[in-house]
């Protein structure tokens, strides 16, 4: 592996609902994922995040794993329903106490805390009032950001407002495979706009409380056009606008692109200025490129997704395409030029069916190859002039993978869910050696 610039941030990521468990402990309120996971048929194995990795009670053990890994940063998310159990009102001290302990433990271990404020676990009470379809949720989000930063703003080293607002809009509100399970297709656009509005308002709230940098973590997927007709080109452009530009153009001062479903009536005077509130870092989550061609006649979508041939595949059946990460980083640089802030890859990783051997060891050479390829792609982008300043592996631990329940393992550390025993995989040792170097 070639050398990375001095100061490059090596990290790992997790999120609250996927690892914490303890969903009814210390006054935490219900979230939309508690509700959704209980609806029959929503989660492939019928599980919930009620216990997950029990990180809420085992955070000291998990912090020791981070220290052993030698990473300089740990990206976790804060559960909004712990801080405001009903999504409104004063901060719930017991909820914030948990993150206080976590942050202090990380700092004592020499690991920078990187906190995401919203990783999809909206308080159920806000959903009952319309959720992100309701403009008021943006204001509630800024209030929550303020309360959280009032307590942790002196110690968190990087704040991330939203995680993957595109996925929360499309899977949660477009096709309903994630919470809250709405199937609005392109009528889900208000969810995009209100999340971005909440982001802009939260950036201002955070700046009033902390001098630490502020970011958003967007999910990107470079489009591979399949077919060469004008209709294929139009389909590829439509998908690119929706997935790669809708949540970035307005943040970087370009306003909204011409994307399917965009409804200008939702955007009020002055909103675009709020959306363009400057950020310090752009978080980039990357997993794979997407094959797109023109849709069949009569399709409700202006594009059709097609599997990409010629790549190895993960247990999720996602193509392993490190070249897509290099392409994406170069494209962001080319597209936004000087308006692009420093980039950190805030998620990159893969699921495999990792099983302990007779000695209890977990060997995961595919994950090592995956990370090696993706880090080389990042290095090539840096060499080509893209300002990439960090890379976070998804994920520290095997965890509860949303609609896939416990069936997909993304961790550098294997978790045996019945016993909660943690076993570092061979990728943990590989990444440790790299991060230490």
Contact 342, 388 (CB under 8 A): yes
Our finding on whether 394 is near ligand IFM (CB under 6 A) is yes
CA pair distance 430, 365, nearest whole angstrom: 10
Q: Name the minimum Å distance from CB 312 to ligand IFM.
A: 17
Is the Cβ of residue 76 or residue 394 nearer to ligand IFM in the bound state? 394
What phi, psi does 314 have (nearest 5°)? -85, 180
Residues 256-275 within binding reach of ligand IFM (CB under 6 A): none
Give which of 215, 201, 196, 301 is closest to 254, Cα–Cα: 196
DSSP 354: -
- Which is closer to ligand IFM, CB of 327 or CB of 347? 347
Taking the complex as a whole, the smallest distance from the CB of residue 422 to ligand IFM amounts, in Å, to 18
Q: Counting contacts by CB under 6 A, is residue 285 touching ligand IFM?
A: yes
Can you give the length of the chain in residues? 437
Beta bridge partners of residue 393, listed in sequence order: 12
Residue 164 in contact with ligand IFM, rule: CB under 6 A? yes
Query: Please, which residue, 197 or 351, has the CB nearer to ligand IFM?
Result: 351
Half-sphere exposure of 230 (CA within 13 A, CB side): 0
CB 371, CB 1: distance < 8 Å: no
CA distance 219 to 403: 18
Q: Tell me the sheet residues that pair with 269.
A: none
Name the minimum Å distance from CB 413 to ligand IFM.
15
Candidates 149, 277, 268; CA nearest to 203 is: 277
Number of residues located near ligand IFM, criterion CB under 6 A: 7
Nearer to ligand IFM by C-beta: 179 or 235? 179
Q: How far is the CB of 315 from ligand IFM (least distance, A)?
A: 11
Please, which residues bridge with residue 219 across strands? 285
The only residue of 143, 249, 398, 401 in contact with ligand IFM, by rule CB under 6 A: 401
**398 part of the interface to ligand IFM, by CB under 6 A:** no
State the Cα torsion 50-56-59-62 to the nearest 10°.
10
Q: According to the binding rule CB under 6 A, does residue 288 interact with ligand IFM? A: no
Residues pairing with 22 in the sheet: none
- Smallest gap from Cβ 357 to ligand IFM, in A, equals 25
- Report if residue 15 touches ligand IFM, rule: CB under 6 A: yes
Collapsing DSSP to helix, strand or coil, 9 comes out as strand
**Which positions are catalytic?**
164, 347
Q: How far is the CB of 401 from ligand IFM (least distance, A)?
A: 5
* 121 in contact with ligand IFM (CB under 6 A): no
346 belongs to the binding site for ligand IFM (CB under 6 A):
no
Pick from 121, 143, 271, 347: which binds ligand IFM (CB under 6 A)?
347
User: Which residues contact ligand IFM (rule: CB under 6 A)?
Assistant: 15, 18, 164, 285, 347, 394, 401
């Amino acid at each position: 592996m070639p050398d990375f610039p001095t100061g490059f941030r090596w990290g790992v990521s997790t999120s609250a609902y996927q690892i914490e468990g303890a969903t009814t402990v210390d006054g935490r309120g219900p979230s939309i994922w508690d509700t959704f996971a209980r609806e029959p048929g929503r989660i492939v194995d019928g599980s919930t995040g009620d216990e997950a990795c029990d990180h809420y009670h085992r955070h000291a053990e998990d912090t020791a794993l981070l220290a052993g890994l030698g990473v300089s940063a740990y990206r976790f998310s804060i559960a909004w329903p712990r801080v405001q159990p009903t999504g409104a009102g004063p901060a719930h001290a017991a909820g914030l106490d948990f993150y206080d302990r976590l942050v202090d433990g990380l700092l004592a271990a020499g690991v920078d805390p990187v906190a995401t404020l919203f990783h999809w676990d909206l308080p159920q009470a806000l959903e009952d009032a319309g959720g992100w379809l309701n403009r008021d949720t943006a204001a509630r989000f800024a209030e929550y950001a303020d309360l959280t930063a009032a307590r942790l703003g002196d110690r968190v080293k990087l704040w991330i407002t939203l995680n993957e607002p595109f996925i929360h809009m499309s899977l949660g509100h477009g096709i309903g495979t994630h919470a809250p399970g709405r199937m609005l297709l392109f009528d889900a656009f208000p969810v995009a706009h209100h999340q971005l509005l909440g982001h802009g308002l939260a950036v201002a709230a955070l700046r009033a409380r902390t001098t630490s940098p502020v970011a958003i973590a967007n999910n990107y997927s470079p489009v591979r056009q399949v077919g060469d007709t004008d209709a294929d080109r139009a389909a590829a452009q439509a998908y690119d606008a929706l997935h790669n530009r809708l949540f970035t153009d307005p943040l970087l001062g370009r306003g909204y692109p011409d994307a399917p479903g965009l409804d200008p009536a939702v955007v009020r005077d002055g909103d675009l200025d709020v959306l363009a509130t400057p950020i310090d870092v752009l978080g980039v989550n990357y997993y794979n490129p997407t094959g797109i061609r023109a849709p069949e006649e009569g399709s409700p979508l202006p594009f059709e997704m097609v599997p990409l041939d010629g790549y190895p595949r993960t247990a999720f059946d996602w193509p392993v395409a490190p070249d897509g990460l290099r392409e994406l980083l170069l494209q962001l640089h080319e597209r936004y030029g000087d308006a692009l802030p420093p980039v950190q890859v805030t998620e990159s990783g893969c699921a495999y069916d990792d099983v302990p051997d007779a000695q209890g060891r977990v060997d995961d050479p595919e994950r090592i190859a995956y990370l090696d390829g993706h880090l080389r792609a990042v290095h090539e982008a840096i060499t080509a002039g893209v300002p990439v300043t960090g890379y976070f592996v998804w994920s520290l631990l095997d965890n509860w993978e949303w609609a896939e329940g416990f069936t997909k393992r993304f961790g550098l550390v294997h978790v045996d869910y019945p016993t909660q025993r943690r076993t570092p995989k061979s990728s943990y040792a590989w990444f440790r050696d790299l991060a230490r170097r």
